[in-house]
Chain A
């Protein structure tokens, strides 16, 4: 870790990003925004992985973050496809309008 930037700053940044992701996920109604919030949470976690990996001089954290990126890419593909289909059928991106499963 280069001099001057302590470990806690990275972790605080990661926690802030994660919290923003949660807040966006819970508070926003637009599906696209919700989706982006998920990506934000994933990347916040990636950041903490990389930080610890660098701190501990071990490669495991890098590998984990690659896995997360792959999953995120796959998830983005599937998620966007679902969003497109929902929009075609319902003409809406409001997440509260697609809660028909409970009936």
Chain B
């Protein structure tokens, strides 16, 4: 079915725009960048249509990549139902965001560079999703990390942007370290990295081994998907252009960890301790990120912490065994979070770069399209039935309730906070009186169009795309003892969050300040994000930096290594300085030395009796 065309089309777009883009007009750059993603999307549709019901995985082997002893790693792609879902999300949402970017990036420098990177990202993301073994997946995994770094630091003349890019890259290295170790363990224990081979032979392995592999994979997933304790890079990643935040840091790349955990479900289901860790990390991340989101004033930061929090939900779903619910939430989240970011981008675009919600307000009338589409995303993320977020979040919470009721309750409280902080941002930005100075203007059609499509998907995506049923052959559905109680409670919490936001930020605008005054310490704590960055700086970054500088650089490098090298050099020079006096070039002195040597030799031989 020529699966390779799916990632290679964006790669071709990247090469064309990357090499020749400087000379192309914007129209040509657009045509190449959007055209390649569109073709890729069409090819995904054609492929999936041609593959029928996909109950069995369809694998294509292109060439042997690594052959060493019994280890044989091929460059193989595979499509099963899980891959199909991811392909549609990546190419579909990716296409919409590419189109949106035409409008958003219209006045930015480095236009072709932006689209080249975006195409490259699509290539790596599709490679990651299509991979038939862990190593090919790792190629995509590293590649999307590279593109993430390049696009976070897109405004490379701004220090904070390049710093954020470095932070993302370095934090991701920690996760990749776990992923690499997991791959080594898999090779040692299974003798293969192929998904098919590994997952079918899981049953015979010891639980300790599988738990170790699962934990190491979890480290990788935590890095890529911004889970505690490695989530710190994602909020900073908002330094990149907003379409990047929508595509890479909300809809696709950051969900790679969830995808990887779901893909490795066979390993995780045999490692209950690791499953529990996934669930607890997910839940803790969901909760803490949501609390931080309550007090952020930068509209992109609010949505960034929201993304971290929602990714936590996906991990919770996977951790309690509802892999399909996690993927379901991944899909709906891709719709509504991409929409929230693109909407935020539209607001920022309208206000000429303003990102602080305190300087917005009253935009409802001025940019109605943006307002209404973002409203759709907000009700979806808040879990209002029957919109997309309701279905997926409900599926996760129901699974959590079956697993452990306390997880359900923490999840429900988080859902309430989610509704609150999203609507807080919406109400601050769109209601009340306008507090800014710029003159807002509605975004062009090329931006509104994708917003409208995503709004439709946010509203109806949960109802029309029944992902868990579609994935049932891979992840069997839980027995359907559907209790209405937990659903009602979680919806009630969501609505309560919205109502509270309305009360605080529309009905009684003075109230938040009183609440802040009452809980000043707590507010300071969450406003400063629990001082996690500061703690990391004090505990990890500064010791490493100063240790590197004082011990490794000035101590080991300069004193020991340079000292040894320079010492050898100066010793050789000193000895040479003495010896060169002998090499005078004066033949008679050489002769004298020869004579002296012969005499000494004769004398010694005489003394030792050698002459007899």
Residues of A within 8 A of B (CB): 22, 25-27, 29, 34, 95-96, 99-103
Contact = CB atoms under 8 A, between A and B. Distances in A.
B394 to A, nearest CB: 91
B584 A102 contact: yes
B595 interface: yes
Contacts of A27: 588
Contact of B586 (A25, A99, A103): A99
- From B584, B591, B592, B595, residue with most partner A Cβ within 10 Å: B591
Contacts of A22: 591, 595
B595 A99 contact: no
Q: Which 10 A-B pairs have the closest CB atoms?
A: A102-B585, A99-B585, A101-B585, A99-B586, A26-B591, A25-B591, A26-B588, A95-B587, A26-B592, A102-B584
Interface string B84-126: 0000000000000000000000000000000000000000000
Nearest to A99: B585
B585 A95 contact: no
A94 B408 CA distance: 106
B597 to A, nearest CB: 13
B595 A26 contact: yes
Nearest to B587: A95
- From B580, B588, B592, B595, residue with most partner A Cβ within 10 Å: B588
B583 interface: yes
Contacts of B591: 22, 25-26
Interface residues of B, number: 10
A94 B591 CA distance: 16
A99 B587 contact: yes
Contacts of A103: 585
A95 B584 contact: no
Interface string B560-604: 000000000000000000001001111110011001000000000
A16 B113 CA distance: 92
Interface of B: 580, 583-588, 591-592, 595
Contacts of A99: 584-587
A22 B597 CA distance: 13
15 contacts: A22-B591, A25-B588, A25-B591, A26-B592, A26-B595, A27-B588, A95-B587, A95-B588, A96-B588, A100-B585, A101-B585, A102-B580, A102-B584, A102-B585, A103-B585
A52 to B, nearest CB: 15
Nearest to A22: B595
Contacts of A34: 587
A1 to B, nearest CB: 22
Contacts of B580: 102
A31 B54 CA distance: 99
A68 to B, nearest CB: 18
A102 to B, nearest CB: 4
A36 B588 CA distance: 14
Contacts of B585: 99-103
Contacts of A29: 588
Contacts of B584: 99, 102
Contacts of B595: 22, 26
Given A95-B588, A99-B586, 14 more contacts: A25-B591, A26-B588, A26-B595, A27-B588, A29-B588, A34-B587, A95-B587, A96-B586, A96-B588, A99-B584, A100-B585, A101-B585, A102-B584, A102-B585
A22 B585 CA distance: 19
- From B580, B586, B592, residue with most partner A Cβ within 10 Å: B586
Nearest to A29: B588
B586 to A, nearest CB: 5
A34 B583 CA distance: 20
Nearest to A96: B586
A34 B584 CA distance: 18
B611 to A, nearest CB: 13
A102 B583 contact: yes
A7 B595 CA distance: 26
A25 B580 CA distance: 23
- From A29, A99, A100, A103, residue with most partner B Cβ within 10 Å: A99
A22 to B, nearest CB: 6
A96 B591 CA distance: 13
Contacts of B592: 26
A102 B595 CA distance: 21
A26 B588 CA distance: 5
Contacts of B583: 102
Contacts of A26: 588, 591-592, 595
A22 B593 CA distance: 12
Contacts of A25: 588, 591
A63 B586 CA distance: 35
A27 B588 CA distance: 8
